[in-house]
Every structure is written in structure tokens, then in C-alpha cells.
Structure 1
Amino acid sequence: MKTRCSSRAASSTLQRVRLSAPTPKASVPAVVPAPSKVSKPSKSDTIAAKELAGGIALARLVAGSGTDAGRPALDFVLPELSGRDVSLGAMRGKVVLVNFWAPWCPSCRSEMPSLEKLYRDLRSYPDFALLTVSIDQRGKAPVAKFMATSGYDFPVLLDTSDAISAAYGVSGIPSTFVIGRHGRIIWNCAGALDWSNPTIREALRKLL
């Protein structure tokens, strides 16, 4: 299954972002099915989601014309690996990148190095936050072991019941949502991405 990014209108710039996504090996699907059936977002929700990319689509987002066009992002409170509860609603006013994943997912692991680098490069920005959400139903232990072994520092929240991923309509992982300062989804994508891609990096920086 190919990487799928939602947008209001197709353009050549969006096509370039799709082509820049890493091509998984034959044995590694781009999107790994979630362990349980979840509801998909409605057609109107999908249409409302905005593409975070270069060119015209990005220009509209940066100018603020598209920030409120998407559906509101569902607020949630989930425990971090440290045990501290983290609230999405408390981050209103920031651009928040939410990435659903699991340590058993090959496609998720393939994008982790570039996601970690993105986190390290942008964590000093006060208006940016990265939240990764593990849907591993086995709980904290395998996630903590994976993070320690891999040496990653990005924040990890635990959604062991899949309640939040289901509410967001996640049917496969990795799945990523970018939430604007006003708490609305402005872009979402199902599938592994290369977060070192210059177009994606520039798009995120221009939103900050």
C-alpha cells in the first residue's frame, strides 16, 4: 500500500512530496494495519484536511487562509513513558505533529531515524511540539525497551486501548497528523515518510 496524504486539491507540488516519500522494500508495507478495526474519517473530514506541502497549498497555510479549514483535532490526555499525563489541549497555540506508531511495525521503524532528527532540530522552537503515540497493546515495557535500545529521545505517549487512534480514524500505521495553532487538523498522511525531505522541513518551519 502506498503512502496516502489527504488534501483538498491535487497539485504538482503535492505529487513531488508523494514521490519523495521513501519506497519501502517489498517485504515492508508502507502502511501496517492496526491490530483492531477502527472507524475511518468521513468523506467531509477527509476533504476538510489540508495538505502540508510546498507551493500553493503551503502558501495558503502559511498565510492563514487554510488553518481553520480542517476538522477540529480531538483533545486527549495520555500517559507518557515517564508516567506523566500529557494533554493535547494544553498545547493550543502550537503546531503539533502527532505520529501514531508501534515498535512491532517495520514501516514505523523505517521512518524513526528521520523523525528523531526532525525532533532534535525543531524542539528548540517554542511553537512546535512532536507527540508520538504508541498503539502497542502490550503496554509500556516493549515501547520503553525499543526506545532505550534505539537511543531515541522524542516523546512517546501510550494508547494501549487504541481509543485515541480509533477516534482519529487510524486504520494503519504509521499515521501522522499536523495540528495547527487553533487546534484543527491541517494535514494528515498514512505511511512512512522521510522527515529529512527538504520540502517537508521547509513547510514545517514556515508554519512556526
Structure 2
Amino acid sequence: VDAYDISKGKGFCSSILRCTVLFVDPVTESDTYTTILKIPGIENLEDLNTDEGTAYTFDDTKIKGFVFRHQTEIDFYSNLASTLEIPSLKVFKMLPWAPGEYEGVIHMEDMTGKGITTGFYPVLSMGQIKEYVRYYVRMHRISLTGDESHQKLWKGKHDENHQFIASLATQMFEDEEFLDICKDRGRLSFL
């Protein structure tokens, strides 16, 4: 088994490892199996902090927030993804994260060659935007108009997520790149 970090620091609050299983007696050279392990942690954020010379601190409250985000992702793949009629990764195993006690993990299919990792403000074509909006609208239609049992899967459980990410973004990342893309369209209210 060969494994390496493919996130190159872009994993935000996770290391993303691509694991390749090489077989002893392969029939062909292509007889390999690849998979992804997403391991939560704040190491990438600490490295970013050091590289950028920022003074962002990771106290217990912030770390609990990252643990909550990991659990939210587990909840999404466990309970919601299959109900939303949107493309989704195959997820094979998920374990919660308790810093200092045990590492969490999300074991998922390898999407190499099927997609790309973008920055915070990717430049998208009109076709990509339309496709994204189509799935986004479908997901929200199902979420908001689903029956009571579907509503119980998500309603009121993750309200603080968007507030956490917005506050983190304003503290850690500059918005000039986004504003340059937008030209004269103005600033976003949360930046």
C-alpha cells in the first residue's frame, strides 16, 4: 500500500490521502486499487497560520467547531446524500473524531480524473454554473419540501455551520482575489 497527501495544504481542516493498493501477482499493470482517506485535523490550518504570519488561535472552542464540522460531514453522507438526488461520492467508512483520544476518518472513493479541487473563488464557465445551480436547486427543493421524516434528518441540526465558516474566512483569508474576479460588483456583506 502506497499513500501520499494529495491535499497539499488545501484540505482546510483535513489531510487527504490517496492510497494505492498494489497487488503481489497482478495480471496487468493496471491491477491496482485506489481510494481516499480524509483525516480531520487542524495541522493544515496551523501551517497556514505560520506561512501567512497570522495570529489566529485554535482554542478549545474552535477545535470543538472543527470536530462538529467533521461530524456534520459524516451526518451528511450517512443520512442526507442518498436522499437529495445529486451526484455524491461513494463513502465506505466514517469514524468520528475526538482530538487527543482517537482520529476520525472518512474513507471514500477516489475521484482522480473525475473532478478537480478548486480554490475558494474558482473561475467557472457558464455551463458549469448552470449545472451547479441545477443540482443546488434540486437539493434545496427536496430538503425544503420533503415530508416530516426527511425534515428531521437535517432541520435545526447544522445552523451554526455557515456562521462558523464565514467568520473563519474573514479572519484567515483575503478577499482581494474574489473582488478582482467580481470587478465593480461590490463586496459581499459577510466579508
Give the number of the structure with larger relative contact order, counting CA–CA contacts within 8 Å between residues 6 or more apart: 1
User: Rg larger in 1 or in 2?
Assistant: 2
Q: Would the TM-score normalized by the shorter structure come out above 0.5?
A: no
Q: TM-score, normalising length from structure 1?
A: 0.27
Structure ranking higher in helix proportion: 2
